[in-house]
């Protein structure tokens, strides 16, 4: 249910202006920020966790946490970077609570009906876009979370290397190394698609 | 897993792949690609890998609905104070600051027992920590007349001495009063405590006496019971076992009966 008085977001105001309005006692202004960033945060959480329900929960947690701590946001970094950081922290907490996160995530994807890839010769002929997407999803789920998050932020969120470095509070060179190693591991994991690659 | 690319320019490779090299860096790396087959091969493979990664798109995003309060967001004390500061008029803020500074100065002067006086000797400034008798009297602009000054100094000294003596007397009587009061309180407490202790001891003694008496009574009763059960006619004395006297008497009777029968 959409709260009354919230118009679909058109992007007229800058993030900082909306933050100021919220801090000045206009909580509904925060909903415009939610409309602006919910898609990106949900996509990040979904790709990190692989489950729609959990991704939605993470989205809620992220925005509620941002709202409660809005006065602590100093505007030194971009609001989106701050949001991504909160979302990733929530994701990592969720992954830690799962225990053997990587294995369980892969297992989960298989339980949902995804067929593990085989090395059959006919694979190249039968692979469709959805199937490739399924394989990609599984391959990403198999990466360690630290590597997975940089690949997701770089490949899907379209963030610059220095932005990822800022979000994760690590050097840019470390981000590049993680992206390289992540791509290398993904290439190995998708080796059954060698003919496609 | 054996690394396929041993080239040291891996960071440049990913930066090139995502188009974040500067034009000069890009030109330089492209020249490198012409001579490094490993990087060239990897750049091509990563390019195709990226195309495959893009097949996984999140189509639908559920709309996030937050239960935000319709009223103002709860604010911290700091924020409230900041807002209060911005609302208050300038004269109030600066006036409050000035008043606080005056109050602090007065407090400081009071702590140091400052006395400022202006008389025929001129302007005098007296400072003493905790009203010490060794207070220093700084006289600014003294009069040149020595006799008058001496008389004034003597008068001041006498006055001061009288004040000190009076203060000492008052303090002594006050301390004496307090001490008497304390002694009264302590003696009262002591007598109350001793009474309590005495009553406790007396109770304990009574309890002990009662207990001893009960024990003695029980012992007497037990002795009486033993005497009752050790009757000579009872062959099986419950307290002492078989009664030997009764058995001996029975044996004698038996022998007499046998002899008479023979």
Strands (E), chain B: 115-119, 122-127, 136-140, 236-237, 241-242
What percentage of chain A carries pLDDT values higher than 70? 76
Q: What is the C-alpha to C-alpha distance for residues B153 and B121, in angstroms, rounded to an integer?
A: 10
Interchain CB contact of A3 with B (< 8 Å): yes
Position A127 scores a pLDDT of 60
* Candidates A31, A43, A193; nearest CB to B58: A43
The answer to whether position A30 is within a domain reads yes
Give the number of domains in chain A: 1
pLDDT tens by residue, A7-19: 334 455 788 899 9
Pick from A45, A54, A83, A85: nearest CA to A66: A83
pLDDT tens by residue, A102-127: 455 555 554 444 444 444 444 454 46
Interchain CB contact of A27 with B (< 8 Å): yes
Place of tokens 């933050």: A19
Q: What is the C-alpha to C-alpha distance for residues A77 and A86, in angstroms, rounded to an integer?
A: 13
Residue A21's CB: how many other CB atoms inside 10 A? 17
> Mean pLDDT of all residues in chain B?
77
Q: What is the C-alpha to C-alpha distance for residues B114 and B11, in angstroms, rounded to an integer?
A: 74
Which A residues 147-166 touch B at CB under 8 Å? 151, 154-156, 160-161
Residue of B nearest to A136 (CA): B53
The whole domain housing A27 covers 1-98
The answer to whether position A26 is within a domain reads yes
* Cross-chain residue pair B50–A140, CB shorter than 8 Å: no
Provide residues of B within 8 Å CB-CB of chain A: 1, 3-4, 10-11, 13-15, 18, 20, 45-46, 48-50, 52-58, 61-66, 68-73, 75-76, 79
The answer to whether position A161 is within a domain reads no
Query: What number is the average pLDDT over the span B236-260?
Result: 61
Q: What is the C-alpha to C-alpha distance for residues A46 and A40, in angstroms, rounded to an integer?
A: 10
* Cross-chain residue pair B73–A23, CB shorter than 8 Å: yes
* Candidates A59, A132, A179; nearest CB to B64: A59
SS3 (DSSP) at B211: helix
**Stretch among B146-155, B198-207, B230-239 having the lowest mean pLDDT:** B230-239
* Cross-chain residue pair A46–B71, CB shorter than 8 Å: no
Q: In this prediction, does ipTM exceed 0.85? A: no
- What CATH number does residue A75 fall under? 1.10.1740.10
CA distance B39 to chain A (A): 12
The answer to whether position A61 is within a domain reads yes
């Amino acid at each position: 249910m959409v709260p009354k008085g919230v118009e679909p977001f058109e992007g007229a105001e800058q993030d900082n202006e909306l933050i100021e309005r919220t801090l000045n006692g206009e909580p509904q202004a925060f909903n415009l920020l939610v409309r602006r960033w919910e898609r990106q945060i949900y996509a990040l959480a979904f790709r990190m966790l692989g489950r729609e329900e959990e991704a939605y929960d993470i989205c809620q947690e992220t925005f509620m946490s941002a709202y409660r701590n809005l006065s602590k946001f100093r505007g030194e970094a971009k609001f989106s970077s701050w949001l991504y950081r909160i979302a990733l922290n929530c994701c990592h907490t969720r992954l830690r609570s799962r225990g053997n996160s990587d294995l369980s995530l892969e297992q989960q994807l298989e339980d949902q009906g995804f067929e593990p890839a085989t090395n059959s010769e006919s694979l190249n002929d039968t692979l469709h876009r959805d199937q490739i997407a399924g394989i990609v999803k599984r391959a990403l789920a198999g990466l360690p979370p630290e590597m997975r998050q940089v690949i997701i932020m770089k490949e899907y969120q379209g963030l610059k290397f220095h932005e990822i470095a800022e979000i994760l509070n690590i050097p840019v060179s470390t981000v590049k190394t993680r992206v390289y190693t992540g791509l290398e591991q993904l290439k190995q994991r998708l080796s059954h698609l060698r003919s496609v690659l | 897993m054996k690394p396929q690319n041993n080239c040291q320019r891996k960071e440049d490779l990913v930066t090139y792949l995502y188009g974040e090299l500067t034009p000069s860096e890009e030109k330089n790396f492209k020249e490198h690609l012409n001579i490094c087959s490993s990087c060239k091969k990897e750049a091509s493979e990563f390019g195709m890998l990226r195309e495959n990664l893009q097949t996984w798109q999140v189509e639908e995003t559920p709309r996030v609905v937050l239960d935000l309060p319709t009223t103002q967001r709860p604010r911290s004390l700091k924020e409230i104070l900041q807002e209060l500061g911005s609302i208050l008029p300038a004269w109030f803020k600066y006036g409050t600051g000035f008043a606080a500074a005056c109050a602090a100065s007065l407090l400081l002067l009071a702590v140091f027992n400052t006395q400022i006086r202006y008389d025929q000797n001129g302007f005098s400034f007296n400072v003493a920590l905790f009203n010490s008798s060794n207070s220093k009297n700084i006289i600014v602009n003294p009069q040149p007349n020595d006799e008058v000054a001496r008389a004034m100094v003597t008068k001041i000294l006498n006055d001061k001495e009288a004040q000190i003596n009076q203060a000492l007397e008052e303090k002594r009587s006050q301390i004496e009063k307090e001490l008497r009061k304390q002694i009264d309180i302590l003696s009262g407490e002591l007598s109350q405590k001793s009474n309590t202790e005495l009553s406790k001891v007396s109770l304990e003694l009574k309890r002990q006496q009662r207990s001893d008496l009960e024990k003695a009574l029980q012992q007497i009763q037990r002795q009486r019971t033993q005497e009752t059960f050790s009757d000579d006619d009872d062959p099986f004395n419950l307290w002492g076992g078989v009664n030997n006297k009764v058995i001996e008497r029975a044996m004698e009777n038996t022998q007499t009966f046998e002899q008479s029968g023979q």
